[in-house]
Amino acid sequence: MRSVPRRRLLAGLLLTPALTGCFASGGDASGEGSADGSRLRVALAFPPAENLSPYGADATLLSRLGVTEGLTGLDANGSAAPALAESWTRENERTWLFTLREATFQDGTEVTPAAVATALTRATEAEPVPAALSGVTLKATGAGGSKVRVTTEDPDPALPLRLSSPGLAVLSPKAYGKGSGKADPVGTATGPFELTKVTGTTAATLDRHDDHWGGRAQASGIDARFISDGTARTNALRTGQVDIAEAVPVSQAAALDQGTRHETPTTRTTSLLLNTGKGAFKDPALRSAAREAVDTSVLAKDVYEGYADPGAGVFGPAVTWAADKRVKPEGRAGAADPDGTSVTVATYDNRPELPEVAQVLQQQLEKAGFKVKLEVREYSRLESDALAGKFDAFVAARNTLLDTGDPVSVLASDHACDGGYNLALLCDKGVDKAVSKAEGMSDTAERQQAAMDAEAAILGTDALVPLVHQQIITGVGTGVRGVVLDPYERTLIGTGTRR
């Protein structure tokens, strides 16, 4: 059974992916250096959209800054790795037993089985529910000693990966107060850095959590600025105002010295999602015409300046098992003549390439016979309208491996009838059947193949047109060490990040 649809931009991972690039929580992007305890100045692309709630898109901001942690994490190969839980076993199809390590919350209290159970229970009660729990009903209880038992309503072979989601961070009981569905991460998390002050959507201050179970961070704190304009983020790095700038636009990459520019292959795919629920693209023949109009090689070469590959599917080349298991889509409708059909294509400017992608798509679609209007806003001002189907098409950059650790989860979230991030409003019996079949697979190889079968069913509807598979560019100032270049985009600052 699936839960009530939710709204957030999150996604699934794979059970055992091999990536064209790897990372570690203390990874060093800039060579060796000594720690001096200095504070780090960081420019982030996305301002908080929900007052830094751990249950939505802001969960990734918290994990990237080293504030929050869950029971598990991800290793360089995408497998579940110990975090607050040092080990786990599967007791039966529906029950897992996690053994906690000794750790303390940033408010000084101990991480106990009861506290973990409370955190997971509160996540299940959040509205909207975190993406990692879409389609999942679970119950967490203390099981004696340092153990936590997690039971799911249906068998869930991906549970250890699911619990690595930034949206399932463990906070102290103090975080939840009396209000159901609310959580305050200020001073209540477990990571190496403690959030101490939030200045609206412009800045945040973090201090080192000296009692972190993984060791004392080498930086004494973080001064984070939220700068949605990519050129401004890049200039802040170039002029020495910040030490680290995430998501440097490809148009600004050449402005950075080679030693301060770091490219990382990621599992992020930029796609054109066509509204199948209402409007022009409810007609599959017009969706087919739109797909045929798109030249993805132009986008990869010209817009992304070689920092991307042409779109192949939901899962790109960074997911190295996908290509060998990819299935050719079938059942596509024949293309109709657009004959001046008017459509609105929307996107957001937090990722500066997206408006340019939309402009190129506008040209390509108009050449094919569509009449196209563009709408560009900051993401937090656009999302609710996109989810409500107020646009005919939406251009989105989606990290398909960001959230749950399971390739099937992103397909269920984004493309199933009751998916919580179903921007295309797709409701197709064949897609739902393929996704449901994949959800029932426990063997890794079989689950991967079922995911690719479901991908083919989705592509066959033309509800989604994969455009490019991206690299990300991170700007790192001279003398800064240990920045985490994470292909999953969950982590940026680790215990070894310093200047």
Average pLDDT of the residues of the chain: 89
Instruction: Assign 3-class secondary structure to the chain.
Output: CCCCCCCCCCCCCCCCCCCCCCCCCCCCCCCCCCCCEEEEEEEECCCCCCCCCCCCCHHHHHHHCCCCCCCEEECCCCCEEECCEEEEEEEECCEEEEEECCCECCCCCECCHHHHHHHHHHHHHCCCCCHHHCCCCEEEEECCCCEEEEEECCCCCCHHHHCCCHHHCCCCHHHCCCCCCCCCCCCCCCCCEEEEEEECCCEEEEEECCCCCCCCCCEEEEEEEECCCHHHHHHHHHCCCCCEECCCCHHHHCCCCHHHEEEEEEEEEEEEEECCCCCHHHCHHHHHHHHHHCCHHHHHHHHCCCCEEECCCCCCCCCCCHHHHCCCCCCCCCCCCCCCCEEEEEEECCCCHHHHHHHHHHHHHHHHCCEEEEEEECHHHCHHHHHCCCCCEEEEEEECCCCCCCHHHHHHHHHCCCCCCCCCCCCCHHHHHHHHHHHCCCCHHHHHHHHHHHHHHHHHCCCEEEEEEEEEEEEECCCCECCCCCCCCCCCCCCCCEC
Q: Summarize pLDDT for 357-409 with one digit per residue, the tens.
A: 999 999 999 999 999 999 999 998 999 999 999 999 999 999 887 777 788 88
- Tell whether 435 is covered by a domain: yes
Residue 24 is predicted with a pLDDT of 35
Cβ proximity of 138 and 125 under 8 Å: no
- Tell whether 241 is covered by a domain: no
pLDDT(19) > 80: no
- Tell whether 258 is covered by a domain: no
Residue 136 is predicted with a pLDDT of 87
Sequence length of the chain is 499
- Tell whether 485 is covered by a domain: no
User: Predicted confidence band at 496 (pLDDT cuts at 50, 70, 90)?
Assistant: very high
Quick one: which of 258, 296, 291, 320 has its CA closest to 460?
291
**Residue that has been written with the tokens 């690299």 in this structure:** 471
Cβ proximity of 406 and 72 under 8 Å: no
- The pTM score is 0.76
Residue 179 is predicted with a pLDDT of 59
- Tell whether 285 is covered by a domain: yes
**Residue that has been written with the tokens 């153990």 in this structure:** 147
pLDDT(461) > 80: yes
Distance CA 468, CA 304 (A): 9
Residue 5 is predicted with a pLDDT of 35
Residue 319 is predicted with a pLDDT of 82
Quick one: which of 212, 276, 234, 282 has its CA closest to 26?
212
- Tell whether 464 is covered by a domain: yes
Distance CA 463, CA 273 (A): 6
Residue 10 is predicted with a pLDDT of 33
Residue 362 is predicted with a pLDDT of 98
> Which residues are CB-contacts of 426 (< 8 A; sequence separation ≥ 6)?
276, 277, 415, 416, 417, 419, 458, 461, 463
Distance CA 327, CA 332 (A): 14
Tokens of 394: 């939406």
Question: End-to-end alpha-carbon separation of the chain, Å?
Answer: 49
Distance CA 374, CA 372 (A): 7
Q: Summarize pLDDT for 270-288 with one digit per residue, the tens.
A: 999 999 999 999 999 999 9
Q: Mean per-residue pLDDT for 474-480?
A: 95
pLDDT(333) > 90: yes
Residue 178 is predicted with a pLDDT of 66
- Tell whether 394 is covered by a domain: yes
Q: At what angle do helices 429-439 and 444-460 cross, to 10 degrees?
A: 170
Residue 182 is predicted with a pLDDT of 83
Q: Summarize pLDDT for 152-208 with one digit per residue, the tens.
A: 999 888 899 899 999 999 999 999 976 556 899 999 999 999 999 999 999 999 999
Backbone φ, ψ for residue 149 (5° rounding): -105, 130
- Tell whether 346 is covered by a domain: yes
Q: Summarize pLDDT for 222-263 with one digit per residue, the tens.
A: 999 999 999 999 999 999 999 999 999 988 999 999 899 999
Residue type for position 402:
L
Q: Mean per-residue pLDDT for 28-57?
A: 76
Taking residue 223's Cβ as centre, other Cβ atoms within 10 Å add up to 15
Residue 25 is predicted with a pLDDT of 39
Quick one: which of 104, 89, 190, 82 has its CA closest to 147?
89
What domain range is 448 assigned to? 266-470
Q: Mean per-residue pLDDT for 131-150?
A: 92
User: Predicted confidence band at 37 (pLDDT cuts at 50, 70, 90)?
Assistant: low
Distance CA 294, CA 273 (A): 12
Residue 60 is predicted with a pLDDT of 93
pLDDT(27) > 50: no
Residue 107 is predicted with a pLDDT of 97
Q: Mean per-residue pLDDT for 410-426?
A: 92
Q: How many domains does the chain have?
A: 1
Distance CA 311, CA 282 (A): 23
Residue 89 is predicted with a pLDDT of 96
Reply yes or no: is the peptide bond before residue 128 cis, omega within 30 of 0.
yes
Q: What is the CATH number of the domain that holds 322?
A: 3.10.105.10
pLDDT(23) > 70: no
